[in-house]
Structure 1
Amino acid sequence: MDQLSAMRVFVRVVETGNFTRAATTLDIPKTTVTNMVQALEAHLQTTLLNRTTRRVMVTTDGALYYERATQILADVAELDGSLSNSQTQPSGRVRLEMAGAFADLLIIPHLCEFNERYPLIKLDIGVGDRLVDYIAENVDCALRGGTPTDQSLIVRKVGEIGMHAYASPLYLERMGKPEHPNDLNDGHRCVGYLQAPSGRIMQMKFCRGDEEIEIDPNYIVSVNDARSYLDAAIAGAGLAQVPRFMAQKPVQEGKLVPILTDWTCESFPLYIVYPQTRHLSNKVRVVVDWLAKRVQTLKVEENRQLMREAS
């Protein structure tokens, strides 16, 4: 028995919750997963997992073994990486998650640049604002907007998104232009942004000097995806607070108009997150560093957008 391989398989079964998902994420047959766990249990002369038809439950011995095994595997990976990083290029698959707006405007247009620098890395990019089970879905890292609340994640702040309020010319023609944030609750309507996992509509926050105003949007439609949020504003469904880098092209094309220009909007923090149990291998580290550098370009785009809006 290859004990290290068996340990990796056992850890994956615990993290994914069953043998089938473990086999899928490891890209090996389910029978191989079952046989390796059984061999490990025979070697240790104890039961690590209790199996039922519906679920796999970790025994007391299994929980202790899992805790030590994850640390041992992380140490082995770090040791291997420290010896090989200077001699070989990072390689392998890296699974990312990010919102569609980040993928469309920030990452995908620059994938050729990444591929030229790291030709042996394959990026699997999951796109959406949904909740992610990082362990069960074998996600290595994610680019997220807003402060993470999941205590099981390691977080690295990589920047902030400048926000502003916009409306479509169609909306302004029908409803008029608001002169004050309080007007948004008096005859105007907004596009609602539905936050996960709370299911609440995100507040709109405005600042001018020492004055701060929070608005609970009056909406007829809400969405839970940034691209749909932008599209709804362009269609005239309501006013919206949009990241400046997303609004850049619609403003240039005359599809959106900045409103309440003497007010500023609260910036939106950006984080790269990854599970505490996931060792940050060399391939993941270079992806994380590349994502962080890409985020830094948002400040440049934001400054350009500010200059266009001012003119």
Structure 2
Amino acid sequence: MDQIQAMRIFVRVVEAGTFTRAADSLSLPKATVTKHVQALEERLRVKLLNRTTRRVTVTPDGAAYYDRTVRLLTDLDDIEASMTNARANPRGRLRIDVGTSVAQLLIIPHLAEFHARYPDIQVDLGVSDRIVDLISDNVDCVIRGGELSDQSLVARRIGNLEFITVASPDYLARKGTPSHPLEIEEKHTSLLYFSPHSGRHYPLEFRQGTESIDISGPYQLSVNEANAYVASLVAGLGIGQVTSYQAERHLQNGTLVQLLPEWTQPLLPVYVVYPPNRHLSAKVRAFVDWAAELFQREEHLQRKA
């Protein structure tokens, strides 16, 4: 038995929660994963995992072994990186997850630049607006907007998103142009965004000095994906709020019109986030630094309160 490989497989099973998901993420047969964990238990003469038909959980001995194994494997990876010049030439498979609008407008258009700089990194790019569990989903890092709820993760703030209120010329021709946020509630149709994770609807927010107004309707449509939300606005389905970065080309070509510019919305911080046990990975560091550099170039993503 390759003990190091068995340790890596055990860590992946703990993080994934099932042998099947661990096997899929490692591109190994499930039987191979099971065999290595069983061999590891036989070698250590302790039970590391409790197995059920749907999920595995760690035993107290397994939890202690997992904690020490993660630290050992991280140190081992760091030693190999320093000895093989991987810091200067990072390599390997990098699993990233980003929001749909960030993927479409920023990451994908510039990804060739990243590949040119780091030709030995293979990128698995997940694109969604759902909340990703970095550990169980085996993701190296994510880019997300909003304050972080999981304080165990490592986060680097790389920008701020400014929201503006917009509608299509066709909608305004039919419904008129509001001169105050309360007119949206009284005479117009709001286009709302709802969380793909919790289903919560987010109101349209308006701030001017000490005055604060939230508009939650009336609405005929709510959407849980950023690009579909913008498409719905362009189609004239209501008044909504998008980031200035999303709206830029639509404002320039006239498919969207900014409304109530004297009313502002709270800035949304953007972070690149990764698990603490992967902070020494050269490939993760390469992407984090590149993403921060990419965001710094964009004026719309660096607004200050």
Fold shared, TM-score > 0.5 on shorter chain: yes
Shift of 1:251: 1.2
Matched residue, 1:307: none
- Indicate whether 1:65 and 2:44 are aligned: no
Q: Is the 8 A contact 1:166 1:259 kept in 2?
A: yes
Matched residue, 2:240: 240
* Structure 1: distance between partners of 2:52 and 2:197: 30
Deviations 1:43-76 (A, max 9, x none): 1111111223332232221111111111111121
After the TM superposition, which of the residue ranges 131-140 and 104-113 deviates more from structure 2? 131-140
Q: Which amino acid aligns with 1:272?
A: V
Q: Is the 8 A contact 2:296 2:302 kept in 1?
A: no
* Structure 1: distance between partners of 2:143 and 2:86: 27
- Indicate whether 1:154 and 2:159 are aligned: no
Matched residue, 1:186: 186
* Structure 2: distance between partners of 1:112 and 1:238: 36
- Indicate whether 1:55 and 2:74 are aligned: no
- Indicate whether 1:138 and 2:135 are aligned: no
Shift of 1:86: 6.3
Structure 1 residues 183, 105: closer, same or farther in 2, change over 3 A?
A: same
Where does structure 1 lack aligned partners over 5 or more consecutive residues?
A: 304-311
Where does structure 2 lack aligned partners over 5 or more consecutive residues?
A: none
After the TM superposition, which of the residue ranges 233-242 and 129-138 deviates more from structure 2? 129-138
After the TM superposition, which of the residue ranges 252-261 and 132-141 deviates more from structure 2? 132-141
Instruction: Map 1:13-162; keep pairs closer than 5 Å.
Output: 13-85=13-85, 89-162=89-162
* Structure 2: distance between partners of 1:200 and 1:85: 47
Matched residue, 2:202: 202
- Superposed CA RMSD in Å reads 1.9
SS at match of 2:206: strand
After the TM superposition, which of the residue ranges 191-200 and 230-239 deviates more from structure 2? 191-200
Task: Give the TM-score of the pair, scaled to structure 1.
Answer: 0.91
Shift of 1:294: 1.4
Deviations 1:195-229 (A, max 9, x none): 24332211222222333333224311101111111
Deviations 1:282-302 (A, max 9, x none): 001101111111122332578
Deviation >6 Å, runs of 4+: none
* Structure 1: distance between partners of 2:162 and 2:55: 45
Task: Give the TM-score of the pair, scaled to structure 2.
Answer: 0.93
Deviations 1:78-135 (A, max 9, x none): 2222333467510111111111110111011111111111111111111110122322
SS at match of 2:242: strand
Deviations 1:160-197 (A, max 9, x none): 01211101011101111010112121111111110243
Deviations 1:232-277 (A, max 9, x none): 1111111111111111111112110011022222212111112234
SS at match of 1:47: coil
After the TM superposition, which of the residue ranges 79-88 and 21-30 deviates more from structure 2? 79-88
* Structure 2: distance between partners of 1:160 and 1:66: 37
Alignment: residue pair count: 303
